[in-house]
Structure 1
Amino acid sequence: MIATSISTPPEDLPVNATLPVVVIGAGPVGLAAAAHLLERGLNPLVLEAGTSVGAGISRWAHVRMFSPWEFTVDRAASALLSKHGWNAPELSQFPTGGEVIERYLKPLAGIPEIQPHLRMGARVIVVTKQRRDRMKDAQRNDVPFLVRYEDAQGEHEVLAQAVIDASGTIETPNPMGASGVHAIGERSLRDRIFYGMPDVLGAQRSRYAGKRVLVVGSGHSAFNVLSDLARLARQVPGMRIEWAIRRPSLRRVLGGGEHDQLKERGQLGLTIAKLVEDGVLNVTTSFHLDRLDTTAEGIVAYAEGESIAPVDEIVASTGFRPDLGVLSELRLSLDHGTQAPLALAPLIDPNQHSCGSVRPHGAEELKHPDAGVYIVGMKSYGRAPTFLLLTGYEQVRSVVAAVAGDWEAARRVELVLPETGVCITQFAEEDAAESAASCCGTAPAEVAELATTPAGCGGGPAQVEVTPCCVKDEIAKTEEKAGGGCGPAAPVKAVATGCCG
């Protein structure tokens, strides 16, 4: 039986501004959205599928973040906490995921302004428009959203003036197959595969101690796993660590190093480089996994006839993808490749985006044909990597301003992001075929000095080529513009084919 939590207004009435704004997910970005809604005098309803706040983060609670507390706490949330005597952490310290939950999210969820608006164990099943399937045009923007969720008592419906989806992507990891689907044999081996970042040195130590382990993936999640496995191997004899990546070399994979303004992230890349140099990690490049076989010697991974020595366990640190099923009855504007909102996609698409950081963006880039629905946080990036919490906080500040009707504030940029220290144009020889069809040519001599600027595009040595597109991106940063430097920030078509986005 379905219980309707809010009475249904007549169909011909416009969306009622007194209805709540439903926020899906009680992680850092979802709770920040609630704080900003309250600051604007709006009524949030936060629906969280987990039994506690930060349920997604709890899956990597043992991992230390690259961002210090300074970049981990939202302004509006901090203001609410401070009213209740919150003992803020030292801003320069780097928290683990577990510390973020215990020292920030749980206190925030417990204050009287936030707590009444939370529904834990409430999994959203679908979001639609009241009495409007996605085919129906008539008065579509004049009716509220209908959000159906399920908890221990059954199914419920609530009407909402707007919906902010901050549910993340942690529950939908990418499969390991190079074609975007599970490799042959991957499903049958799921009890020997961990997706994400296992607690190698803690709760899951016995699973990996003394074992032969294959790590698949080239992002910072893989780096964390490899680093932990290397530490374990120093403590327990007999281990062998294999690492498979799709790229033809490690140069871009290892990132910005000392030029990364998030120093912990840069240091991790340097650590992995040293482990490879010392032979602790056996790296296989250009490995496009298509099959896993179980043999008497162990699990063997194959790619176009090439294979990796048998292993006992596999860690798939291959990233995540958005689950868009709950929004399937809404009219969304999503990029075909990244599955990010169409206007955001060129800013984050690694096929186009030249430099490692993304210009601040908000409601303008996140809006959809169905007005009032926004995908924010990690989920807004679709399949693209390198999301920072600060980005999510700026997203919800802007989105909430738009929901409140303050589009001047919604379009205003209120964030300066740290640089990654890596620029795709540093790897021109690796991407020669791709760059031939892009704007990534050699920079004019008069702008070559930008290549030596640490806060610029890569901060590399003077001989590193810097593209005109990347120079424009640098100028955009100094002017604190939203969008990319390869054209105006707002018109999507002006930046869609640029290599900086």
Structure 2
Amino acid sequence: MTPQSDLPIAVIGAGPVGLAAAVHLLEQGLPVKLYESGSGVASNLRDWGHVRVFTPWRYCIDQAGRKLLEAHDWRMPAPEAFPTAGELVEHYLEPLARLPELAPAIETGARVVGISRWGADKVLSKARGTRPFMLVVETANGTRRDSARAVIDASGTWQMPNPLGAGGIAAEGEGEAENAGRIAYGIPDILGRDRALYSGRTTLVAGSGHSAANALLDLARLADAELGTAFIWVTRGTDLVRIYGGGDADALPARGELGADVRELAESGRVSLVTGFATVAIRAHENRLIVEGETADGLRQVGPVDRIIAATGQRPDLSLTRELRLDLDPWLEGVKALGPLIDPNEHSCGDVPPHGHRELSHPEPDFYTVGIKSYGRAPTFLLLTGYEQVRSVAAALAGDMVSADAVQLVLPETGVCTVPSSALGAASKGCCGGPAAKEADGCCVADVEAKAVGRGGCGCGVAA
């Protein structure tokens, strides 16, 4: 067996945070192997390539990646322009992945389906840390087992959408073939490639995050152009302050504008809004769908509708790491150290303190969860947070603990905050509890419920 010190560090997921991790590791002189399940890098971002992000180019790029690109005569697009997710891939992530320093380390079409230690299951303790990691990798040519000295899991949560069922389990009838084909999870391209599916039809949008807002606004534009297009909005909660946000006080103006626009749409009566609705069943009805939910007044049916958009969030895939010793928050399923700081029952905006390799590690030596997956089911994540996470982790793996511990992170104070409705539109000094942050501090917020949000969107906060 190859000596452990000569083995590469495995990075799972070639999205923006995974690619940044590889760059930082190479910068530290460490060997890297980057696995991407899609046919190209950043395959998750390509799914919502039509979505424009909240923050300008200058906030969407990892500085180590930029340095490497500029050494090859790359020029960053207009710093103040707001890219779509597709443009981030085309003009930043793909050029980065093609660089001769990085390209040999990347394998696409390689899905890591399991991680363990060679010769040791989760129970065995003896000499555990001296055993290399074993990665089970599925490719078009079959399944193989690779070895790694350390593992950085940047695989994200995009491929694991939450079900419509309000209890976290699929609603009755949700998975039935005749129903499932009419349910979209994530951010469908309503005005583009998916237009024919929604034009002239009635769509129910479930969710109260920015993903839902993006879908609702696109459906409103479609309804302006296509007769017979209608839409219904259902939310489990009754207070929509998080989606409406801080308006003009938001440190990210595009995000504030999105909240203001969807609030105006809801108050205009153009969309039928049902709050306090906990979905329990999807029922077929004359080639259409009826959605049944629990409300304060008992069971209620909404519909019939032709299609459903489930903007209900994502969750991490824990099957990947079942044989590793992880310390996870019991309800968020992200890294435990972050749980109390990002719990959506208490927090929903920028009051997460700086954190790096120490908070992102686990009882399993040399295994780190980074990017959106480190937040588990929590509702917000910052792309620049992910870049700082992997910078710290790479330094720790290189043995530079001074640099690894020198973590800096400043988040915006307004926006998606848990504040009383009366505070909407006001500067919310106490909203996040931290010091005031300026837009110049550079934050890019992503809604875990969709990993991105449109024009209104915040795609650049999303890990692959």
* 2:452 match: none
* Paired position in structure 2 for 1:237: 227
Residue matched to 2:435: 474
Which SS does the other structure have where 2:147 is aligned? strand
2:430 to 457, 468, 484: 457
In the alignment, which residue of structure 2 is the partner of 1:330? 324
**Which gives a bigger RCO, structure 1 or 2 (Cα 8 Å, sep 6+)?**
2
- CA shift digits 1:402-449 (9 cap, x unpaired): 1112222222123323334354243599xxxxxxxxxxxxxxxxxxxx
Pick which of 277-286 and 247-256 moved more: 247-256
Residue 305 (structure 2) aligns with: 311
Q: 2:147 aligns with which of 159, 162, 167?
A: 159
**How high is the TM-score relative to the length of structure 1?**
0.83
Number of residue-to-residue matches in the alignment: 432
Given candidates 165, 170, 184, the residue that maps to 2:158 is 170
Shift of 1:289: 0.5
**For the residues of structure 2 that align with 1:320 and 1:40, how far apart are their CA atoms?**
33
5 Å matches for 1:184-199? 184-188=172-176, 189-199=179-189
1:207-263 alpha-carbon deviations (Å, 9 max, x no partner):
000100000011111111111111000001112110000111323331222222121
DSSP 3-state at the match of 2:17? helix
SS at match of 1:394: helix
**Distance change (3 Å), C-alpha of 1:97 and 1:357:** farther
Give the match's secondary structure for 1:95: coil
Who wins on radius of gyration, i.e. which is larger?
Answer: 1
Alpha-carbon distance between aligned partners in 2 of 1:297 and 1:139, rounded to the nearest angstrom? 60
Residue number in structure 2 paired with 1:73: 61
Cα distance between partner residues in 2 of 1:311 and 1:279 = 18
2:30 paired with 1:57: no
Paired letter, 1:474: P
Unaligned runs of 5+ in 2: 442-464
Q: Report the residue type matching 2:39 in the other structure.
A: T
Residue 128 of structure 1 corresponds to which residue in structure 2? 116
3-state SS in 2 of match to 1:351: coil
**Residues 251 and 190 from structure 1, CA distance in 2 versus in 1: closer, same or farther, beyond 3 angstroms?**
same
Going from structure 1 to structure 2, the CA distance change for 1:296 and 1:152 (only over 3 Å counts) comes to: closer
| Inter-CA distance 352–149: structure 2 relative to 1 (3 Å threshold) | same
Identity of aligned residues (%): 48
Q: Distance in 2 between matches of 1:234 and 1:475?
A: 40
Pair 139,244 (structure 1): closer, same or farther in 2 beyond 3 Å? same
- Asked if structure 2 preserves the Cα contact closer than 8 Å seen for 1:244 and 1:283, the reply is yes
Q: Does 1:203 align with 2:176?
A: no
Separation in structure 2 between the aligned mates of residue 345 and residue 428 of structure 1, nearest angstrom: 28
Match of 1:82 in 2: 70
* Runs of at least 5 residues in structure 1 that lack an aligned partner in the other structure: 1-6, 10-15, 430-450, 459-469, 481-501
Q: Which amino acid aligns with 1:318?
A: T
Per-residue Cα deviation, 1:318-366 (whole angstroms, up to 9, x for no partner):
1100001111110000011000111011111111326444233211111
1:148 aligned residue: 136
Scaled by the length of structure 2, the TM-score of the pair is 0.89
The answer to whether the 8 Å contact 1:26/1:46 transfers is yes
**In the superposition, relative to structure 1, how do residues 21 and 313 fare at CA in structure 2: closer, same or farther (>3 Å)?**
same
Q: Could you tell me which residue of structure 2 aligns to residue 348 of structure 1?
A: 342
Does structure 2 conserve the Cα–Cα contact (< 8 Å) formed by 1:423 and 1:457?
no
